[in-house]
Structure 1
């Protein structure tokens, strides 16, 4: 018999709305709530986590609609993934419309930008803050009327730490690469580079210097330039120019 026909027998107490991409954090949160509040697995719905999934053969959409509306507590895990989830959007919207107890939980403090729309008006807790998780347990227990059933913090502390650890394991954005050094039109380095090109042109256009002498003079000039502005790009420039000199004199090896 489906859950919709057995409201008193299997209606969940806590519904965790989340994206399947956040299943590790959702699992840690479900285990934390179960341990601290002395709940059974049937009291928590977390659809992507084993032990808290929908019953086999259940009508998915109808069961979710019923549990989102009738559960005593709904916790919404807010992240970049949930922001793009159709189901999370519908679940949070339906719960908000029903005017029932709803707790937005940020997967990390950095995800505060995902509290938008009607949810933005509700105070959000953070999964990576131990104090927030202790507050969550206290307030959910009050909502369930289970204050006397709370386990001592020492019992569920390891589960709390797993939530914080899972919240902190989200992939971080790559650090931006530093900007390449900029050369202003009036910098000494640019004048040195220009002088190198002028010197090379003069050397190549006169018969007073051999190709070997030209290469030596140019190399010495480039060493001076490297002292002013080192960089792999200028190494490539000097290498290409020396190759031009060597083409003019095959004797250079």
Structure 2
């Protein structure tokens, strides 16, 4: 299964950790480090969205207000191929969660969230993401 990780560029380090964990479990994950100077990044991302089968949406203080994240999520939710395969991940320190939950795009509030509250030790959250994608692929 090919997985797209929707995230803010400020959260690249965490997105890469998630991507590495997914690759270790046999998933294909595209990284935005494959965008080079002079590339049309919007076209590359749109192409990757079309080719992916699932999406992990990384919701952080950096991403919840992003129009790009909202557009990517809107695309995935409208595509039949992503049905049941959009996994929202709320990643914030525990004291930020209640404020962040208020900003989550309304369309994602109907989904069960995976919470990563300790950004330094997120092994359990990574396992939960992997398990959710394995279940969706079955």
TM-score by length of 1: 0.44
In structure 1, list runs of 5 or more residues that go unmatched: 1-11, 146-253
- Alignment of structure 1 residues 60-71 onto 2, 5 Å: 60-71=41-52
Which whole-Å deviations, capped at 9, do the CAs of 1:118-152 have from their partners, x for residues lacking one? Answer: 1111111012365443232122124345xxxxxxx
Which residue does the alignment assign to 1:54? 35
Q: Tell me: higher relative CO, structure 1 or 2? Use CA pairs within 8 A at least 6 residues apart.
A: 2
Q: Whose radius of gyration is greater, 1 or 2?
A: 1
Q: 1:29 aligns with which of 18, 34, 37?
A: 18
Q: 2:55 aligns with which of 37, 50, 74?
A: 74
Q: 1:69 to 1:113 in 2, by over 3 A?
A: farther
Q: CA deviation at 1:66?
A: 2.7
Q: For the residues of structure 2 that align with 1:137 and 1:63, how far apart are their CA atoms?
A: 25
**2:5 equivalent to 1:16:** yes
Q: For the residues of structure 2 that align with 1:14 and 1:46, how far apart are their CA atoms?
A: 10
**2:90 equivalent to 1:106:** yes
8 Å CA contact 1:126, 1:133 repeated in 2: no
Q: 1:72 to 1:56 in 2, by over 3 A?
A: farther
More strand by share: 2
Q: 1:54 to 1:143 in 2, by over 3 A?
A: farther
**2:120 equivalent to 1:135:** no
8 Å CA contact 1:16, 1:75 repeated in 2: yes
Runs of 4+, deviation exceeding 6 Å:
none
More helix by share: 1
TM-score by length of 2: 0.74
In structure 2, list runs of 5 or more residues that go unmatched: none
